[in-house]
Chain A
């Protein structure tokens, strides 16, 4: 097995960074945007429908991105833990962690 020479501090920081970003992105649910789609705000039915559709599109995209970001962040953080806790972590361990992160993000 190939041994890896990775900076676990960098990995951990990157993982935490991305998980934080995923959380912030998840919070950006666009509630103000959704509220803007009401008839009382737009004053026009067609505009409300268009804005509603956009909010729906944004939610789908936001959830996907936040999920992918979180999965990648978790993968990196776990990889850092593996290296911190085991002297002999192998390429396979990291591939498994990051591969899973990628797969979750793709799902």
Chain B
């Protein structure tokens, strides 16, 4: 914006601009000196051998590079200012000359105006005195008047001079304006050049990356150009919009690793503007790169763009404060959540947002993103189709939280009851109808991470937060994450491992609930089990335990052990638990029979029985479904059996009645009988595995304490798998039967 007043001296001081240029050059020289010192120090230290000195050399090299980059910026600044000082000086000199010329021309104009006026008066007097006779020549008549000719010539000459003076005024004003315009043009050029050097973030990253002033200017200009294209690329006709979008995409990919570009870009553009233009294909169309958004994925076009967006945001964060990072993370999610699921939403917006949030970003970014996701959850109450649309973004935020353990704990495991319930409901009790694009891996991972942070903390308050989360999660998971199709084995495994610290409660939860008249109705309210102990009658400390609903727990275990790989996580956890309990038990001195080790035996068998039984539950469940199907078929034939469970004799009766129909082969209980037999056989195998491990370890421990081997074996006869005659009803059978539903079958048959 020009400050210049018409025909006044141009504002600005070329001399002071020259001083500023000199100052910049001096600062650049100081940087050059500093760089020389750094290189000299590095050279001096080069001959010395030490890891510490190596570190100092490395630091000196980094600083020398930064000094060179900053010096380049200042040198460029000095050059711009000097050039503009020259332009300004020329413009000022031209303007000054024009002003002087105009002043002189105005003076001439006034003088000749006066002369012309005087001449005009003289001419008028002569005309009045000697009006020419009609038919005579005018000049001849005037000539007859003394002085008349001179007066007319005087007037003509004055008017000519007056006109010339006026023309000079106009010309001088034109020269002044030309000078002013030259100054303004020079100022615009200088301002644009300085702006390319002046972005605080860009200068900082350029210094860190050793980018020279030229590169910084080019990157900044490119970023501003792309940011300016975004609104245009979101509007207009199809052809021009498509062309502009391609330009934007190419520019973003080309500058993927350019820190100065992203430093300027994210200071200028908003996520919403980007979503309106950039299309990252929805995950359903990405085929093998599903779940890979945000990471490099070969030559795939979308992969390139996703990588550019993720890398760009990471580069930007290197120059941003935590508060700025938090705000941009919030906007990345909020800008797309506003329209998610709407027909008007930009295609692939959530995918683009997900690409902007690779897990490697700082925690502040993901904290901001999680805030926006919380707000979206509050607004959408888990019901509409935007949940499906937002799935890629939920995956990205979950991945980011999981990468920052403390953040994952803080966000998923609040200390208070209400927020904990809400957290479990949002993260674990809700899932897209078609499942998460990554098979639920990220959400399962952040759950496991949060639980791990709390359960391994030395602070009981943290342990309680993790236990509270697990207590709520146990009710939510079976109808949320674990009910979604396409659950990956990795996800199932992470959920299983999250429960590992709580194996000590599984047997107790099963027994307590199973012993009631109505086990389902007697499920405990979600919370922390204040009375939990690791082993009864001992003072062995235990991680704070959750209240667990045995039925919900069975559903969780069942849903996370559907494949051998997934089931291995539970069995591995049970193995580790058994081993740790054996270690604790053998440390205790023997004191007759199973003595002090008895409670450990009971506890382990009870807990692993619950887990093993739950894993077997699907066998019974599947058999029940088959029976129900057959019952339904019989009912449809009009035999009146209905959907109630039928006994073997009833089946025979019905089968006889149905003899004339094609259902004469039906034996409805057949599948259940076979399933129960299979579950029982597995029970024996598993019991033998856990019991023999404890038996052998305890016998060896007692022998080591001087107990004769025969006596030691006798002490642990009840858990000697080879001595089936001595085996009694034990805790393993009780919890295994309840959780596998085998006792339901036998009790009801």
B575 to chain A, nearest CB (A): 41
Return the chain B residue nearest A15 by Cβ: B41
| Chain B interfacial residues counted at CB < 8 A | 65
A92 to chain B, nearest CB (A): 9
Interface of A is mostly: helix
Assess whether A65 is in contact with B67, with CB atoms less than 8 Å apart.
Answer: yes
B48 to chain A, nearest CB (A): 5
Q: How far is the CA of A50 from the CA of B33 in the complex (A)?
A: 27
Residues of B within 8 A of A44 (CB): 1-3, 12, 183-184, 187-188, 191
Stretch from B197-205, B248-256, B357-365, B632-640 forming part of the interface with A = B197-205
Q: How far is the CA of A96 from the CA of B148 in the complex (A)?
A: 108
Chain B, 181-220, CB within 8 A of any chain A CB: 183-184, 187-188, 190-192, 194-195, 197-200, 202-204, 207
Residues of A within 8 A of B12 (CB): 40-44
Assess whether A39 is in contact with B3, with CB atoms less than 8 Å apart.
Answer: yes
| Chain A interfacial residues counted at CB < 8 A | 61
A12 to chain B, nearest CB (A): 11
Q: How far is the CA of A58 from the CA of B78 in the complex (A)?
A: 13
Chain A, 27-63, CB within 8 A of any chain B CB: 27-28, 30-33, 35-37, 39-47, 49-51, 53-54, 56-58, 60-62
Assess whether B63 is in contact with A68, with CB atoms less than 8 Å apart.
Answer: yes
Known contacts being A6-B53, A33-B20, A65-B67, is A18 close to B41, with CB within 8 Å? yes
Assess whether B199 is in contact with A57, with CB atoms less than 8 Å apart.
Answer: yes
Residues of A within 8 A of B190 (CB): 47, 50
Residues of B within 8 A of A7 (CB): 48
Check B13 for interface membership: any CB of A closer than 8 A.
yes
Assess whether B20 is in contact with A36, with CB atoms less than 8 Å apart.
Answer: yes
Q: How far is the CA of A69 from the CA of B50 in the complex (A)?
A: 21
Assess whether B191 is in contact with A46, with CB atoms less than 8 Å apart.
Answer: yes
Check B520 for interface membership: any CB of A closer than 8 A.
no
Assess whether A17 is in contact with B63, with CB atoms less than 8 Å apart.
Answer: no
Residues of B within 8 A of A51 (CB): 20, 194, 198
Interface residues of A (CB under 8 A from B): 4-7, 10-11, 13-14, 17-18, 20-22, 24-25, 27-28, 30-33, 35-37, 39-47, 49-51, 53-54, 56-58, 60-62, 64-65, 68-69, 72, 75-76, 79, 91, 94-95, 97-99, 101-102, 105
6 more A-B residue pairs beyond the given contacts A60-B203, A62-B70, A76-B56, with a C-beta to C-beta distance below 8 A: A10-B48, A33-B27, A50-B194, A50-B198, A57-B199, A61-B70
Interface residues of B (CB under 8 A from A): 1-4, 10-13, 16-17, 19-24, 26-27, 30-31, 33-34, 37-38, 40-41, 44-45, 48-53, 55-56, 59-60, 63, 66-67, 70, 73-74, 77, 81, 84, 88, 183-184, 187-188, 190-192, 194-195, 197-200, 202-204, 207
Sample 29 A-B pairs with CB under 8 A, ordered by A number.
Answer: A6-B50, A17-B37, A20-B37, A21-B33, A32-B19, A32-B23, A33-B77, A36-B21, A40-B12, A40-B13, A45-B3, A46-B187, A47-B190, A49-B191, A53-B195, A56-B198, A57-B197, A57-B202, A58-B70, A65-B67, A65-B70, A68-B66, A72-B59, A76-B41, A98-B55, A98-B56, A98-B59, A101-B59, A105-B59
